[in-house]
Amino acid sequence: VYLQPDRESDEGAIGVHGITNEFLVGKPRFAEVADEFFDFIKGAQLIIHNAAFDVGFLNNEFALIGQTDRADITRHCTILDTLAMARARHPGQRNSLDALCKRYGVDNSGRELHGALLDSEILADVYLTMTGGQTSLSLAGNASDGNGSGEGSGNQASEIIRLSADRQPGRIIRASE
C-alpha cells in the first residue's frame, strides 16, 4: 500500500525511490490504514535493516494521529535489526543492504530504486543467508500445524496461527544478545 504523506516529496527522495507526488494523489493516509497495519504487526517479529530509521517513522505516524498507546511499536512486536546484526558480524565493514548482497551473493540486480517490497524481498534472502537458516523463503510452503513440529497439513491458505493478545509485549533483539 502506498500512502499519501500530506506533503510534497523532494526531488532527492524521488530520485531514491521513484515515487512521484502525482502517483500519491488519491492514495490513503496513514490514519486510514493504521488499525489494519497495527493488527498486522501486533505480536509479530519484524526483520528490518536499520530498524531505528523505520521504527522512528512508524512511531511518529502513530503519534501524529493521536494513537499514543501505539507510538512505540516495540511494545507490541519484536524488532530484529539486521544492520545491528551485520555490524556485530562484520565490524568495520560496510553493512548497507547492497554491501550485504555482495558479501553473501544475493542477487539485487533488479534494485535500481529503493522500494519497500523489493527491499524486503532482498532483505529476506540476506537474512536467511546471514543466519545460515533456511536457504530460501517461500510463502507457498507448508504452514505450521501450531505444535512447533513445523509440519502443516498442506492447506496453506487457510492456516493462520495467531498469538495470544494478552502475551508479553515484544522487545528489540540486538545482534549482541
Grid cell listed for 168: 508479553
| Residue 76 a catalytic site member | no
**Beta bridge partners of residue 78, listed in sequence order:** 45
How far is the C-alpha of 113 from the C-alpha of 102, rounded, in Å? 17
Q: Which of 163, 172, 168 is nearest to 56 (CA)?
A: 172
End-to-end CA distance of the chain: 34
How far is the C-alpha of 29 from the C-alpha of 163, rounded, in Å? 28
Q: What are phi and psi of 27, to 5 degrees?
A: -75, 155
Contact 123, 47 (CB under 8 A): yes
Q: Choosing from 17, 76, 90, 114, which is the catalytic residue? A: 114
How far is the C-alpha of 168 from the C-alpha of 159, rounded, in Å? 24
Q: What is the DSSP letter of 21?
A: H
- Residues annotated as catalytic are 114
